[in-house]
Amino acid sequence: MPPNLLRRPAFFWIATGGVVMLLAAAVSFVHQLREVQLQAEHNFSSRTALVQKFVTLNLDKLEVMSLLLRQHYHAPPAPGATALPATQPHGALWEIQLPLVLPGTDEGDAQRTAVVTGPMPQQPSPQQQREILAAAAMAPQIRSAFKYDPDVFRLYYLSAQKFLYLASRSGDEHVHFSEALYQRRYWSVAGPANNPARRTVLHGPYPDAGGLGMVVTFAQPVHDGDRFLGIVALDLGVDKLQRLTTVGRSAGSSLLIDASEGLVISAADMTPGQPVRAPLPDGTLRWQKDSDGTRWLHSQVAKDDLSLVHRLPRNTLYAAAAARSVDTWIIVLLSGGLFVLALRLRRAVSEVQWLTQIDPLTQVLNRRGLQQQSRALLALARRKRLAVALAIYDIDHFKKINDSYGHPIGDEVLKQLGKNLQAGLRKSDLFCRWGGEEFVLLMVLDVPENASVVAERMRQIAQQARIPTDGSGITLSAGVVVLADGESIDAAVTRADQHLYAAKAAGRNRIVFGGAN
């Protein structure tokens, strides 16, 4: 086949290979999308369990503190019970220091104290004294919290009777009773007006007044029947919660949000308190998508108050899947490159092989090309029981043309002749330049006797060539034979050549048909 036809199958295979490789890459990308989401789901489940356990442990501390306070608030004073120490002035406040460790016990730092402060000039009222003594009963739980939980900064009881009972790990000198404490969210939300269910509330994160960094406050309301006494609370550093929300590696970020969907904790670059508009949970751990295409997971870690959500923006998801697909893309690109290189190499080899079968002057088959391509034609003729004829043409007085007009004009005549014969060729036939000014036509025929008719038609077409300088015409002589069964091309050419000599001897410009051997 000519070189221009080689481009079609090459392009087809390159295009097909490209489509297949793109499909493979697309399938890999879709698979990685699912893998990224699965990994995020697994990490989110682990983070939820850890955060839930952490929050539950701290809520349990508050529950025990509240229980101890309420029990001692209702218990009658024990015989010989120690009265409250005398108050000491502290600026505009009165202050009482109460030991957290009883004298004579081995509980660590026996000097650790809780500080009770209230506004001057009033001294603690009997009601306040009753609550202070009840708050002092929380000391065992406070000691345990400080001993086993380094994330707890302080525990305290803020009374509606305007005093603060405070135990701090660092011995705060800057945290005392203030009317501003009643403006904090943990007080306003924990009160009976906004919290009829008496649930634990969360406030923060916010900068700690004692300089301990960002803290969050868990607060639980304390009631005596229907009477609201105050809140027990603990302050935690946010570092532990942030670490828990980043356990494992996965795309996206996990956020701890409160009941109003305000951000509490995030390792991402987000502002605490910033609204987080996650889709409403449906009670299952499955992805939900918002209007921006961001995917969300949702899990409750504290009933009616705290939830952990995982936010996976669409761009982050696609980037993570693409990063995980890099190996596949490299393989696809390398395979595609090798595939294209192989096709180009095959095409180059085919073109080289083709060029060895083409006469460079006339751009028709040469003798080798005819020998190569005739095999398929002869095989087809044998299968279909068709006749094969061969004609050899020779330009009359071609030497005289070269001598008279020069070899470049002779070459031009050969080019015209080759072009004319190639244009008039039937699809089933082959045509080549045998050598010099001789050309061979190989024909497949239903009737052997038609060989001379086809050969004569081709001779007339060939004689349309003209000498460029003066427009003179040319003539051809030909010898035609029908191949016998098993006869080779070379043998047939030898026989046809004899009939060509006969045509020339008879005056040229004619065909001599020799029939079968």
Q: Report the chain (517 residues): mean pLDDT per 10 consecutive residues.
A: 48 70 80 90 91 89 92 74 74 85 50 81 82 89 87 90 88 76 86 85 79 84 91 88 86 79 58 64 75 86 78 89 80 76 77 82 92 92 93 94 92 92 89 93 92 92 90 92 92 94 94 81
Q: In the Cβ-directed half-sphere of 16, how many Cα atoms lie within 13 Å? A: 7
Query: CA–CA distance from 44 to each of 39, 50, 226, 274, 365 (Å)?
Result: 8, 10, 40, 21, 73
Q: Where on the phi/psi map is residue 134: left (φ > 0), alpha (ψ -120 to 50), or beta?
A: alpha
Look at the block and give the residue holding tokens 């009374």: 159
Which one from 63, 179, 261, 437 is the annotated catalytic residue? Answer: 437
Confidence at residue 206, expressed as pLDDT on a 0 to 100 scale? 80
Q: Which helix (H) or strand (E) holds 88?
A: strand 88-90
Q: What does the DSSP 8-state code read for residue 358?
A: B
The confidence score (pLDDT) of residue 97 equals 86
Which residues does residue 480 pair with via DSSP β-bridges, in sequence order? Answer: 391, 513
What SS3 class is residue 240? helix
Nearest partner of 308 among 33, 32, 49, judged by Cα: 49
pLDDT of residue 4: 45
296 half-sphere exposure, CB direction, 13 A CA radius? 22
| Of 406, 424, 507, 508, nearest in space to 464 by CA | 424
Structure confidence at residue 500 (pLDDT): 95
Q: Where are the alpha helices (DSSP H) in 406-448?
A: 407-424
Between the two ends of the chain, the Cα-to-Cα distance in Å is 31
The CATH superfamily of 356-516 is Reverse transcriptase/Diguanylate cyclase domain (3.30.70.270)
The two structure tokens encoding residue 413: 């005549």
Q: What is the CA radius of gyration of the chain?
A: 51
User: Among candidates 184, 191, 135, 183, which has minimal Cα distance to 163?
Assistant: 135
**Distance, CA of 284 to CA of 281 (rounded, Å):** 7
Distances (CA, A) of 148 to 122, 141, 142, 234: 37, 11, 10, 14
pLDDT at 84: 78
Q: What ranges make up the beta strands (E) of 334-419?
A: 387-395
Q: Which amino acid is at 150?
A: P
Both tokens of 379, joined, read 């095989």
CB atoms within 10 A of CB 382: 12
**How confident is the model at residue 170, as a pLDDT?**
74
Lookup: tokens for 109: 């730092």
Q: Which two tokens stand for residue 460?
A: 């007339």
Burial (CB count <10 Å: 0-12, 13-18, 19+), residue 90:
middle
The reported pLDDT for the residue numbered 517 is 63
Domain ranges in the chain are 1-349, 356-516
Choose among 517, 483, 505: nearest CA to 394: 505
* Beta strand 476-482 pairing with 511-516: parallel
Q: Which two tokens stand for residue 21?
A: 């490789």
Residue 456 a catalytic site member = no
- The SS3 call for residue 164 is strand
Separation between Cα atoms, residue 48 and residue 52, nearest integer Å:
6
Q: Give yes or no for a contact between 117 and 179, defined as CB atoms under 8 angstroms apart.
A: no
- Three-class secondary structure of residue 223 per DSSP: strand
* 232: β partners: 157, 220
- Dist. CA 401–CA 412, nearest whole Å: 11
In angstroms, rounded to a whole number, what is the distance separating the alpha carbons of residues 164 and 148? 24
CB of 51 closer than 8 Å to CB of 304: no
At 263 the pLDDT is 62
